[in-house]
Structure 1
Amino acid sequence: MTTQRPPEQPTGQSGRLTPEAWIQAGFRALARKGPSALKAEALARDIGTTKGSFYWHFADIADFKMQMLRHWEERAFDDIVGELNALPDPRQRLRHLCALAVSFRDPAYGGAAGEPALRAWGREDGNVSEAVLRMDARRLAYLEALCRDCGLMQPDAAAILYAATLGYESLVDAAPEAAVRGMMTLLNALGLPRT
């Protein structure tokens, strides 16, 4: 029988775990076991350290959860939009965004189950629900502007694309390549001009 070692954890110059290491552990625990797994002692055990390290970075579990949500909002929107804005053609940006949305599954953050688990958590926690609603509004606004820039005339194109990415996300076992092909087929059906 083999035991699974925890993934490499981000550490600072002092060799201590960083807040990001704890946040990643939180997303992995959330994806595996749900929000009840977001406890300092359980997370410390998962990453092979003491809970004292947790309290070095976070005031308490509530602070940790808020930091998780803040990190998700930055990473799952700001970082992606920054990457997309480097592409000169809006059609390229839209194709890349759709491919990325259904294929990027970082195991450090719970893999394919990460965001669906976060959305499920939002159904039982008001703070998480607010963060999810905020993220949905930001993503939809960005998609609507991008669709306009691409010349997509379908008035609901952004909502259709966003719903499709959420649907593919919930299919945890879906092959990323098949999901990307499906999104490209949808973009073509919506009339996205070729680049």
Structure 2
Amino acid sequence: MKPIEQPWILAGYRLFAHEGPKGLTVEGLARVVGKSKSSFYHHFADLEVFTELLLRYHLNQVHRIAEQERQCQNVIPDLVNLLLTVKENLLFDRQLRIHRTIPAFKQCFDKSTGAVGEAISGIFADMLGLAHNSALTRMVLMLSLENFYLQLTPETLTYDWLVGYMHELQAMVRAFQANDRQQSILYGSV
């Protein structure tokens, strides 16, 4: 991104994160940046080009965050605290998920969740007690991310909510494991 484009991209990022694609209007962007609409068209041919740059910017952000996620030693509190510092990025991903019927948004969302999944799968597996089963870890992670974005709002994105969400995931996996052990006892190991 060129330095002169930065205010536009940052404004678009915030608008998209909170309002989705309907927030991306030339008028709204110009108002937030404090420039004229013609200034927008001077830097970007149209909203489609701008949106492509915005998605590219998001993926760069995601890869930067994924590197930070890899450095986390555990989910609570390390990953949770990191997530609280990147709220806008999470809300941007949420909008991509909501509007994934748009092919470019789906592609960006898939790349984003793939990068996140790869970055946190190790500590996620440890948290859930699934370090011995990477395939199951990946499935639970993808399902929990889907559910995470369904529940995510600017208001719910708090430390307590994130910790509670992680505890719910742990409880769910423990319940499945207990049920599996019970089935093995009742029916014998297959």
Structure 2 residue identity aligned to 1:61: L
Alpha-carbon distance in 2 for matches of 1:112, 1:134: 14
Alpha-carbon distance in 2 for matches of 1:27, 1:65: 10
| Corresponding residue for residue 118 of structure 1 | 96
Map 1:117-156 to 2 at 5 A.
117-123=95-101, 125-144=102-121, 152-154=131-133, 155-156=135-136
Question: 1:20, CA displacement in angstroms?
Answer: 2.9
Alpha-carbon distance in 1 for matches of 2:91, 2:122: 28
Q: Is the 8 A contact 1:84 1:93 kept in 2?
A: no
Question: 1:64, CA displacement in angstroms?
Answer: 0.7
Structure 2 gaps, min length 5? 175-190
Partner secondary structure for residue 128 of structure 1: helix
Question: 1:129, CA displacement in angstroms?
Answer: 1.3
| Corresponding residue for residue 61 of structure 1 | 47
Structure 2 residue identity aligned to 1:127: A
Alpha-carbon distance in 1 for matches of 2:69, 2:8: 28
Q: Which of 145, 159, 170 does residue 177 from structure 1 map onto?
A: 159
User: How many positions carry a matched residue from both structures?
Assistant: 166
Larger Rg: 2
Question: 1:186, CA displacement in angstroms?
Answer: 5.1
Q: Whose helix proportion is higher, 1 or 2?
A: 2
Per-residue CA deviations over 1:24-60 (Å, capped at 9, x if unaligned) read: 2223322444313322232102332112332343232
Per-residue CA deviations over 1:130-179 (Å, capped at 9, x if unaligned) read: 11122223322333455568872244224424443443443312251222
Note if 1:160 corresponds to 2:143: no
**Relative contact order, CA 8 A, sep 6+: which one is greater?**
1
Partner secondary structure for residue 99 of structure 2: helix
Give the TM-score taking structure 1 as reference length: 0.65
Structure 2 residue identity aligned to 1:82: E
**Greater Cα shift, 155-164 or 20-29:** 155-164
Give the TM-score taking structure 2 as reference length: 0.66
Give the 4+ runs in structure 1 shifted more than 6 A: 148-151
Alpha-carbon distance in 1 for matches of 2:66, 2:74: 9
Partner secondary structure for residue 34 of structure 1: helix
| Corresponding residue for residue 9 of structure 1 | none
Structure 2 residue identity aligned to 1:67: L
| Corresponding residue for residue 37 of structure 2 | 51
Alpha-carbon distance in 1 for matches of 2:85, 2:142: 15
RMSD: 3.3
